[in-house]
C-alpha cells in the first residue's frame, strides 16, 4: 500500500485488515540492532494508528530465523550506560506492543533466540513451524535477558521452567515450546504456518474490534491485579461495550441470522 512507510530492515504488507510485518536482515538472521528496534517501534506505532488494520502478524524474512536475538556485534562494545539505554529501547517497544489495542501474533519459523524470543513473547499469540527453536542464550554471552525475557517468560510458563531455560541457555524446539505453553500451535513448514496464521488473523479481524481490544486489556491488566479488582475491570469494560454501535450490530445480526458488519464504533 502507498501509505505505508519504507523501512531499511522491515517489510510491511497490509491485506484485508491484516498487516504482515516482516523483520528483514537475513544476512544476520534478522538480529535486532538499534536501527531495527527504532524501525519496529515506528512500524507498530503506524499500524496501531492505521484504522484499516485490525490485526498485526510479525514474522522473520529468513528461512532459518524469526529473529536470532539482539545484534551481538553492536552490543559487544557497549558500556553500561549504552547497554541500559539499549534495553530500555527494547522495553519501550515491548510495552508498546503489549498495550496496542490490536492483537499482535508472532509467526515463528527458525530461531527465536534472546531478543527474538522476547519479541515473540511480547506478542499476544505465538504460532510456530516445526523447525522453530526458542531459547535464551544470554548467559552463554556473559549477560542475561534484557528485553523483558525474565519477566514475560515466567508469566507464560512459571518460575521453574523459566529458571531452567534462562540459567542453561539451552534451545527448545517448537513442540517443547508448545508443551510449556509459550506456543499455541505448531505447523509443518513456513508456508503452512503463514497461511494458517493469516487465516486466524482474518478470523480475529472479522470480530468486533472494540470487544477484542477490551478483552486484550482485561486479560493483560487483570493478570497483575487481585481477582476481585480484575473482575471489576472486566465488568466495567463489558459495560462500556454496550454503549458501542458494534454491540447493537453484533446482536442484531445474530437475531437476523446474518454476518455482523462491525465498524469499530
- The nearer residue to ligand CO8, 11 or 64, going by C-beta atoms, is 64
Q: Is 233 exposed, middle or buried (0-12, 13-18, 19+ CB in 10 A)?
A: middle
- The nearer residue to ligand CO8, 38 or 217, going by C-beta atoms, is 38
Instruction: Candidates 111-119, 159-167, 181-189, 204-212: pick the segment binding ligand CO8 (CB under 6 A).
Output: 111-119
Question: Order of strands across the sheet with 133-135?
Answer: 65-67, 111-113, 133-135, 171-173
Among 60, 103, 114, 209, binds ligand CO8 (CB under 6 A): 114
The number of residues that bind ligand CO8 (CB under 6 A) is 24
Output the DSSP codes for 103-136.
-EEEEE-SEEETHHHHHHHHSSEEEEETT-EEE-
State the Cα–Cα distance between residues 53 and 49, nearest whole angstrom: 8
Asked whether 75 and 83 are in contact (CB, 8 A), the reply is: yes
Q: Spell out, one character per residue from 56 to 95, where the chain touches ligand CO8: x when CB under 6 A holds, - when not.
A: ------------xxxxxx------------xx--x-----
Tell me the catalytic residues: 118, 138
Among 138, 152, 161, 198, binds ligand CO8 (CB under 6 A): 138
- Note whether 111 binds ligand CO8 by CB under 6 A: yes
Instruction: Candidates 107-115, 120-128, 176-184, 217-225: pick the segment binding ligand CO8 (CB under 6 A).
Output: 107-115
Q: Residue 214's closest CA among 234, 244, 231?
A: 234
Among 66, 147, 187, 262, binds ligand CO8 (CB under 6 A): 147
- Note whether 172 binds ligand CO8 by CB under 6 A: no
E strands, 114-196, where?
125-129, 133-135, 171-173, 185-187
- The nearer residue to ligand CO8, 78 or 219, going by C-beta atoms, is 78
Region of 92 on the Ramachandran plot (φ > 0 left; ψ -120 to 50 alpha; else beta): alpha
Q: Spell out, one character per residue from 24 to 53, where the chain touches ligand CO8: x when CB under 6 A holds, - when not.
A: ----xx-xx----x----------------
CA angle 176, 178, 181 (to 5 degrees): 115
Q: How far is the CB of 53 from ligand CO8 (least distance, A)?
A: 24
Determine the 3-state secondary structure of 138 from DSSP: helix
Asked whether 96 and 45 are in contact (CB, 8 A), the reply is: yes
- The nearer residue to ligand CO8, 15 or 155, going by C-beta atoms, is 155
- The nearer residue to ligand CO8, 22 or 200, going by C-beta atoms, is 22
State the Cα–Cα distance between residues 105 and 123, nearest whole angstrom: 6
Among 60, 103, 115, 209, binds ligand CO8 (CB under 6 A): 115
CA distances from 233 to 42, 98, 124, 148, 215 (A): 30, 17, 19, 25, 10
Q: How far is the CB of 54 from ligand CO8 (least distance, A)?
A: 27
Which residues in this chain contact ligand CO8 in the complex, by CB under 6 A? Answer: 28-29, 31-32, 37, 68-73, 86-87, 90, 111, 113-115, 137-138, 141, 145-147
Amino acid at each position: 500500500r502507498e501509505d505505508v512507510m519504507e523501512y531499511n530492515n522491515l517489510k510491511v504488507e497490509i491485506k484485508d485488515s491484516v498487516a504482515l510485518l516482516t523483520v528483514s536482515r537475513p544476512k544476520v538472521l534478522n538480529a535486532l540492532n538499534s536501527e531495527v528496534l527504532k524501525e519496529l517501534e515506528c512500524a507498530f506505532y503506524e499500524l496501531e494508528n492505521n484504522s484499516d488494520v485490525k490485526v498485526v502478524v510479525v514474522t522473520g524474512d529468513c528461512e532459518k530465523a524469526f529473529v536470532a536475538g539482539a545484534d551481538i556485534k553492536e552490543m559487544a562494545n557497549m558500556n553500561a550506560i549504552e547497554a541500559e539505554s539499549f534495553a530500555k529501547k527494547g522495553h519501550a517497544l515491548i510495552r508498546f506492543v503489549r498495550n496496542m489495542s490490536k492483537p499482535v501474533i508472532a509467526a515463528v519459523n527458525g530461531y527465536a533466540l534472546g531478543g527474538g524470543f522476547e519479541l515473540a513473547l511480547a506478542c499476544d499469540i505465538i504460532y510456530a513451524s516445526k523447525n522453530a527453536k526458542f531459547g535464551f542464550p544470554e548467559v552463554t554471552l556473559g549477560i542475561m535477558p534484557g528485553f523483558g525475557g525474565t519477566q514475560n517468560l515466567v508469566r507464560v510458563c512459571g518460575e521453574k521452567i523459566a529458571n531452567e531455560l534462562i540459567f542453561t541457555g539451552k534451545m527448545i524446539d517448537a513442540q517443547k515450546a508448545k508443551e510449556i505453553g509459550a506456543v499455541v500451535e505448531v505447523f509443518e513448514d513456513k508456508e503452512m504456518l503463514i497461511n494458517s496464521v493469516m487465516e486466524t488473523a482474518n478470523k480475529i479481524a472479522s470480530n468486533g474490534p472494540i470487544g477484542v481490544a477490551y478483552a486484550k486489556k482485561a486479560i493483560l491488566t487483570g493478570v497483575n491485579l487481585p481477582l476481585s479488582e480484575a473482575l471489576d475491570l472486566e465488568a466495567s469494560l463489558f459495560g462500556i461495550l454496550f454503549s458501542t454501535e458494534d454491540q447493537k450490530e453484533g446482536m442484531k445480526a445474530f437475531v437476523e441470522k446474518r454476518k455482523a458488519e462491525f465498524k469499530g464504533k
